[in-house]
Copies of this chain bind each other. A is one copy, B any other.
């Protein structure tokens, strides 16, 4: 086979996995970095900031948008993409939760 058995896992597990998957490529992390660095949503020149062809960047943007990490609209012949703060909050809470549990852990054999 080869298809992911996503339906065997909880909704939260699938949510985290889906968000992680969206960030599982350095180009998409670079897109997030760039969106943060310009401190604005209007980012019509993302293509020039990345070492990838325009269709590839467009594809990565779509994956980020499908995962819900960025939200955006088309404005004329430019785009307007921004990071969705709520999704960042979900991920931040997830890792904070893990860190907290690990802090309170008793056993530690490794």
Contact = CB atoms under 8 A, between A and B. Distances in A.
B107 A40 contact: yes
7 contacts: A9-B30, A36-B102, A39-B105, A40-B106, A41-B107, A83-B102, A89-B99
Interface of A: 4-6, 8-10, 13-14, 16-17, 20-30, 32-33, 36, 39-42, 51-52, 71-73, 80-83, 85, 88-89, 91-92, 95-96, 98-99, 101-102, 105-110
B5 A30 contact: no
Given A83-B98, A95-B91, A110-B72, A17 B6 contact: no
Contacts of A95: 88, 91-92, 95
Nearest to A29: B13
Nearest to A27: B9
A16 B29 contact: yes
Given A6-B26, A9-B26, A17-B26, A92 B88 contact: no
A40 B95 CA distance: 18
Contacts of A42: 107, 109
